[in-house]
Amino acid sequence: MPDPRFFEDLGPVALGELAGLTGAAPLAPEGAGRRVSRVAVLAHAGPDSITFLADRKYASALASVRAAACFLPTGSEALAPEGCVVLSVANPHAAYALAAQRLHRPREGGGERVAADARLEAGVVLGSGAVVGPGAQIGRNTRIGANAVIGAGVAIGRDCDIGPNVTIGFALVGDRVRILAGARIGEPGFGATVGPKGLIDIPQLGRVIIQDAVSIGANTTVDRGAYDDTVIGENTKIDNLVQIAHNVRVGRNCVMAAHTGISGSVVIGDGAQFGGRAGVADHVNIGAGARVGAAAGVMKDIPAGETWGGMPARPIRNWLKETAWLARMANRRGGQTA
């Protein structure tokens, strides 16, 4: 469920109310009166939650969950397991987003510079204009730069260096972490779907977990998870102007050069390396020790230990051979290609 340090629960709510809110087909009285306390994706659904299924290929996963209710596409009601109340809608993902907005709300800071219930250990240094939100915790000898904002519930470990104008929200940060000026940690990831009146944002209910000894460069962004957490592994080093999207899991001792862009739900193994301006499509797996060349565009999984380059990215030797062949063809007298 959403971490209560970062999200306020607004439930429980009767399913009849959610049916009206999302445009679902009317429910029988016994279903309409049933109450739920949270939204959850299939992997985390429980008896107090409402989930959704937008793609039939995940129907087997739905059969094994014990959610109280589920948003299903109209005509797919038979897919629901026994005891699960079905809310039939045209777009289950949009219905889930509307239900999430009704059941959960991000916690906000108060008007104080340092909230009364924030906990700062000995040796913490706050720069001019720095703000520390309600329930936040900052460990011994950590330095917070000028005009940095530490959001409600955030926990930062010991001996960290947080630069000026950094914002950190919805995040748990380990010891000896270095975050340079202007970085944005824990902003909502990009997600939208078509609702009854046009596009609606999908609430991002996860967190950011930054493990010990991570370095994050200036103006880099690390988005919080949509459903699960975004995780940056121990001792990983991230350059300036890098984008890491929601639900990404970065292993230990990875390196990312400037302008690298990692799309949502990518999994990166330990020791992977990324050249400048490398880009990775969503839901791709990068194996441990893999290397991605500068400006490469990764569209599919890279096995552990391999080096890839080009657009679309492929094994580096293949890319270099193809590039050399194209150069020879382009330079042939008369422009002949055969």
Whole-number Å distance between alpha carbons of 97 and 188: 14
Enumerate residues 6+ apart whose C-beta is below 8 A from 136.
115, 118, 119, 150, 151, 152, 153, 154, 155, 156
For residue 145, the 8-state DSSP code is -
Contact (Cβ atoms closer than 8 angstroms) between residue 96 and residue 52: yes
279 vs 124, 242, 300, CA distance in Å? Answer: 37, 10, 11
Q: Is 283 a catalytic residue?
A: no
Among the listed residues 93, 246, 259, 283, the single catalytic one is 246
Whole-number Å distance between alpha carbons of 60 and 122: 52
Tokens of 237: 């080093």
CA angle 141, 235, 187 (to 5 degrees): 75
Tokens of 62: 């739905």
Active-site residue list: 246
